[in-house]
Amino acid sequence: MITDSSVVELTSDDWAELRAIRLRALADTPDSFGVLHSEVVDLPDEAWRERLSTGHPTYVVREADATVAMAGGFAPPGSSVAWVWGMWTAPEARGRGHSTSLLDAVVRWARRLGRTPHLHVTEGNEIARRLYTRYGFEPTGEWEPLREGSHLRIEELALTRG
């Protein structure tokens, strides 16, 4: 059992690591994300570098030599909200607390900005929803389509306490 892990914020030099884990997440759980694997698999290397140069953080969990989980933050200009996006843990690393560690990192970042953390969870993903509500996120009552053409919806949750 692997017990040594760390949460790391990626830099533009880590673009290949972001690409690899993001594509793995999109392939593993396509109904959890607003984009499809096919929409980003052919992006040029520079697009991945730019994504890590925006000032919006992307965090990963590294275990030994493997990147096994990811999450990011996005703070829209002029908004009081900071979004948690891209939460995913590799199947072989689930149940080790990585999602909570990633939420801790993104929530700390959002709070430093004075923003309220929000996120979306796909309807039917009860494991993720339980994680988020245990963490303190609460439903806002807002729902929207997962993405154009999808029959699934996403529910908005906010962390208004703490």
SS (H, E, C) the chain: CCCCEEEEECCHHHHHHHHHHHHHHHHHCHHHCCCCHHHHCCCCHHHHHHHCCCCCCEEEEEECCEEEEEEEEECCCCCCEEEEEEEEECHHHCCCCHHHHHHHHHHHHHHHCCCEEEEEEECCCHHHHHHHHHHCCEEEEEEEECCCCCCCEEEEEECCCC
Cα distances (Å, whole numbers) of residue 132 to 6, 18, 155: 21, 23, 12
Alpha-carbon distance of 51 to 23, in angstroms, equals 14
Mean pLDDT per 10-residue section of the chain, whose length is 162 residues: 83 98 97 95 97 96 95 97 97 96 98 98 96 98 95 97 74
Q: What are phi and psi of 55, to 5 degrees?
A: 90, -5
Q: Write down the pLDDT at residue 46.
A: 97
Q: Write down the pLDDT at residue 65.
A: 85
Q: Write down the pLDDT at residue 2.
A: 52
Q: Write down the pLDDT at residue 92.
A: 96
Q: Write down the pLDDT at residue 162.
A: 66
Q: Write down the pLDDT at residue 64.
A: 87
Domain boundaries, the chain: 5-158
Task: Give the global pTM.
Answer: 0.94
What's at 99, amino acid-wise? Answer: S
Q: Write down the pLDDT at residue 161.
A: 83
Alpha-carbon distance of 26 to 77, in angstroms, equals 27
Alpha-carbon distance of 118 to 80, in angstroms, equals 10
Instruction: Assign domain 5-158 one CATH number from 3.40.630.30, 3.40.50.300, 3.90.190.10, 3.40.50.620.
Output: 3.40.630.30
Alpha-carbon distance of 68 to 43, in angstroms, equals 22
> Residues 93, 95, 99, 102: is their CA dihedral positive or negative?
negative
Q: Write down the pLDDT at residue 30.
A: 94
